[in-house]
Amino acid sequence: MVTLVVTKGLGSMDLYAEKLAEKLDVPKAYTDIYQRIAERFNTSWFSPGALRAIREDWHFLRMLNRLDGIIHLPNQHLGRYGLFLKVPYIITVHDLIRYFDLKGYSTFIHQPNLRDRFYLSRDYRGVKKATRVIAVSQATKHDLVQHLGVPEERISVVYEGIDHGLFQPTPRRLVDYPYLLFVGSEHPRKNFAGLLKGFSKLKSQGGFKDLKLVKVGRAGRPEAEFRKHTLQVINELGLSNEIVFADYVAREDLPAYYSGAECFILPSFCEGFGFPPLEAMACGCPVIVSNVASLPEIVGEAAIKVNPHDTDGIASALRMVLTDKHLKRELVSKGLEQAAQFSWEKTARETLKVYEGVERSLSTKYAPAGVIERPRPLLKAVILVGGEGMRLRPLTYGMPKSMMPVLNRPFLEHTIAYLKDYGVKNIILALSHLPEVFQNYFGDGSNSGVQLNYAAEDKPLGTAGAVKNAERYLGSTFVVLNGDIFTDLDIADMLAFHRGKGAKVTIALTWVDNPCAFGVVETDSDGRVRHFIEKPSPARVTTNWINAGIYLLEPEVLEHVPTNARYMFEKGLFPLLLELGEPVYGYPFSGYWLDMGMPGKYLCLNCDLLLSKAKSALIEGLSRDEVCCDKDVIIHPSAEIVGPAVIGSKCRIDQKTYIKGPVVIGPDCCIGESASIEVAVLWRGVNIGAGVSLKQCILGANTKIKDNSQVINRVVTSGHTRVVQIKDTYSW
């Protein structure tokens, strides 16, 4: 288990922690300690708050050491606490700028004082000690290896994201004149002075009389001397009337600044990631950045890149964007595509992969000799319960098939218990037909010991489309189950297979005698899927291994699924992935598997559970002749019941009745005198008249059978007069 430390504040590193907390379903520990660290910068050992700071540090460290499992520290300045942690920890490094200041590599700012040098050195020692380091860019990873000596294999690169709900083109305007935009501090590493010089050269060339340079970003206490230097440069260049300081701007106003700008420019000397260029791109603004540090990898081919030391080059790039309309349109188009690749959802998914990797490595490291630990089961599952159950009608008029009672409990409740047994406690129900039935019964899932989320469809979206609709809840590898499948498949073993193969998709395969009614899956000797044949004719059958309707997927495959459109796994996504050469594998298993999507199979499932041919995590199996009665059941002494049988609460069984299992009788049923019942499932409130004979039947809720009737191999419901013969009768 990983606990994420969430820092509070207004900085980009606080934003990172906040967004991960929002997207990751893991334990969290909230603190304002990082904000307090920032407030202490440039203070002395003997300042009035020094003793208070020591107490705060001590309390925070005690809090961390009380946490179970692995801790994720969300920025490098919490490394000082990592040195004293008694548990493994992950740390995210956003940049090494303060390290460069500490070592004198940077001439951009004064050397830290003695106190800050002490703490900063501990920060980076804490980084080196971490079990795993997350770098927010390849450039930051390179710095970690080159300057801190962190082994490359201990570093994972996980890019940060942007908020696409906020950063998008908007017609709203806060500035009524043409302007260039710079967003950031006036720290010398941002090279705002270089931009001013390039802007001055552009203006001196003529043609841009009304053009201004708008600078957005704080000018608080730490930047006081930076502003002084900035104003000095502005005065020297004669730009006093050309520069507009917007200073602090609320985040919700930033899209208007980006959208209205002629161009955004960030000619930094040093960046660990670089949010503003991506935010500008997402708002449809052309972008110019420097060709150093992380910026080239972040902007890709969607921006103009300049040498930050070349002010003539900066001026030339600005002129190109301002005068070449075709180039500007191209930059806007490419920028929108580039920005779309960075999202907090993707950051969360990749971070979860890091968590799982650390958990696996630690479980192997500390396992007893000769013991190979299985990987930790999946964090989330999607159950597809949106189908209308047409093949099960009339039972599914007003009743979703996944809510049909199996041993007097909803079928879905058995599936949830099965997943819970494998540690899967975060479950998403993909809903379409009668969603309120699920929500009213399960609520948030707490009564079942799990956390449930609901992804309801406005229209049927198909199997893959339904999972795409639930994408907002998904992070790392997840399992998908069709909502009418009952199985004892070992999910942990399937997960180990999936990871061992490096698969993007793993499809559970089960053997059937007649595969023509299913989707046949052909694999090679290594298990890699080569062909799909959906419901083949007998002449086309090449294997008896079929798609079992249970899948492990990596979340990135959902990028191939259209949004809000009907799309299937079987005929759409999986064949497409094969065409693209993606690793799709089949996992054959020989355990119990049944698709209860037809009346005969539904009856068969109830019988198999009663006879212990199948096992439910929800209900213990019965012995061959056992009769299990719920509370307040009345059975006449002359009635004969041969198990296995389950009888629901408040049932009444009259004299001379004969019941031979496997039989399930729901709550509130009344069985009349001399009735005979064999191999049947009766739902709640069924009333059986005197002398009735039932065999291999399913009776829907509140059904009434008249005296002396004979019902064999049939489904009968009360709300509809339709009677359906069961095609697949149960046999031993």
CB atoms inside a 10 Å sphere around CB 520: 22
Phi/psi for 635 (5° steps) reads -125, 125
In the chain, the amino acid numbered 165 is G
| Helix, strand, or coil (residue 156) | strand
Answer whether 99's CB lies under 8 Å from 124's CB.
yes
Give 418's Cβ-side CA count (13 Å radius): 21
Cis peptide before 255 (omega within 30 of 0): no
Distances (CA, A) of 551 to 173, 508, 584: 48, 6, 10
Burial class for 140, CB neighbours closer than 10 Å (0-12, 13-18, 19+): buried
3-state secondary structure of 666: coil
DSSP type of residue 621: P
Between CA 395 and CA 403 the distance in angstroms is 11
Exposed / middle / buried, residue 631 (Cβ in 10 Å: 0-12, 13-18, 19+): exposed
Closest CA to 301 of 284, 281, 315: 281
* H or E element in which residue 132 lies: strand 132-135
Tell me how far CA of residue 64 lies from CA of 3, 89, 119, 319, 410, in angstroms: 9, 10, 18, 53, 42
Burial of 256 (0-12, 13-18, 19+ CB in 10 A): middle
End-to-end CA separation in angstroms for the chain: 46
DSSP string spanning 588-618? E--S-EEE--SHHHHHHHHHHHHTTSS--SS
Contact 654, 637 (CB under 8 A): no
Contact 407, 616 (CB under 8 A): yes
The answer to whether 545 and 484 have CB atoms below 8 angstroms apart is: no
Q: In angstroms, rounded to a whole number, what is the distance separating the alpha carbons of residues 621 and 289? A: 67
Nearest-angstrom CA–CA distance, 672 and 667 = 15
What SS3 string covers 274-313? Answer: CHHHHHHHHCCCCEEEECCCCHHHHHCCCCEEECCCCHHH
Q: How far apart are CA 183 and CA 275, in angstroms?
A: 10
Catalytic residue among 228, 365, 535, 706: 535
Instruction: Please report which helix (H) or strand (E) contains residue 347, including its range.
Output: helix 344-365
Phi, psi at 5, each rounded to 5° = -80, 125
Whether 535 is catalytic: yes
Q: Contact, 414 vs 383, CB < 8 A? A: no
653, 635 contact by CB (below 8 A): yes
What residues act catalytically? 535
